[in-house]
Amino acid sequence: MSSGDPTALSVVETALQREIRVDCYVRSPLSTAVASRITTLVERLRTLSERGVVADVRVDQWPMNGSVADESRGTRDELVDAFERWAAQHGYSLEPAFRRRITPPSPLGLDDEPRDRTRVPLVALAFYEADTDAERLRGVVPCTDESHPDDGRTYTVDQWLTAVERTLLDTAPNEPGTGQTTPLEGQ
C-alpha cells in the first residue's frame, strides 16, 4: 500500500464513520529508543483527539496473559480473541503482528500440559464506537487485508496515522514544513 493513497486503507474509512475512541496498546518493557518513538506516536494520536478527528484516545499496556486482579479489564487472550473475531468478520487477519503458538510442556516436568502463548505487537490500535453504551469494536491496526490472498497487504499503525493525517488534517509526517517524522520508520 502506498501511504500516499489514504483511500486504499479501508480500516480508516471504517473507523472514522462514527464517533470513535482509539485504544492504544503498548507492549512493555521498552528500550529508550522505542519508548521515544511510541511517545511520538501517542502525541500524534492525541493531536487527532484534540482536533476532533477521534472522540478519545486511551493508552495502556497490554494486559497480562493469565488471570488478573481487575476482572473488568480482561486478559490479553480475551482482547486478542475479540480482535480476531473482528478480523475474521471483515476479511482481515492479525498476522503477522499477532501470533499464537503452543509451547510444549517443560522437559523438566515443571509443566504437565502445553501452553497457548499469544505474541502481540509493540503497539496496536483498537477502534471502538464512542457514542454508545456498549463497546463495539470497529477496527484493529495492525492488520492484513485478506481480500487479495496473493498479495495480502499489512497495514501498520504508522500507515493508519499517516493516512488519517493526510486525509483529515491535510498534513503528513515527512512532508516539508510539518516538522513531523514518522515514529516507527524502519520497523
| Spans of all domains in the chain | 6-169
Mean pLDDT of 155-168: 88
Give the sign of the dihedral formed by CA 130, CA 11, CA 184, CA 97: positive
Q: How far is CA 44 from the centre of its chain?
A: 14
46-63: pLDDT as tens digits = 999 998 888 899 999 998
pLDDT band at 122 (very low <50, low <70, confident <90, very high): very high
Inform me whether the pLDDT recorded for 152 exceeds 80: no
66-108: pLDDT as tens digits = 655 456 667 898 999 999 999 999 989 999 999 988 777 777 7
Secondary structure in 3-state letters for 162-183: HHHHHHHHCCCCCCCCCCCCCC
